[in-house]
Amino acid sequence: MKIVKKILLILFFLVVFVVLNEGGKINQMDQLIQPLLFAVSAVISVYSPKFRKYIIRLSAGLLFIMVITYLFNELEISSWMGSLGFGLLFISVFSYSPQLIKKGYIEGF
């Protein structure tokens, strides 16, 4: 039953991230790679909090690769790596917000 919940949650996040990233319109299948990675990382952040640090490290590595590819004038790769890195960083930082609210660092609504 837990696997079914995770798969449904991945599909839900996939739809949300496709709408946010591509505007809901997919012309090629390779446009699903980035929203799928976002969806999987969001589910990992929800169900396995110990992997959040690895997602942050992965996003830092992607941002470093973005800088390197930008210096070599590979703008398309740089843009893709940068948006993937910032997206993963945002998802992982946002997943820490319930703990910050619980500890009192952020006021609850």
Question: Tens-digit pLDDT profile for the chain (109 aa)?
Answer: 688 888 898 899 988 888 888 787 778 887 888 899 999 999 988 888 888 889 999 999 999 999 999 999 999 999 999 999 999 999 998 888 888 788 877 776 5
The pLDDT value recorded for residue 1 is 67
Residue 23: Cβ-neighbour burial (10 angstroms; 0-12, 13-18, 19+): exposed
The pTM is what?
Answer: 0.82
The pLDDT value recorded for residue 32 is 85
How many domains does one find in the chain? 1
Contact 44, 55 (CB under 8 A): yes
Asked whether residue 108 is assigned to any structural domain, the reply reads no
Asked whether residue 109 is assigned to any structural domain, the reply reads no
- C-alpha distances in Å from residue 73, one per residue of 34, 64, 85, 86: 22, 14, 18, 20
Domain span including residue 27: 2-103
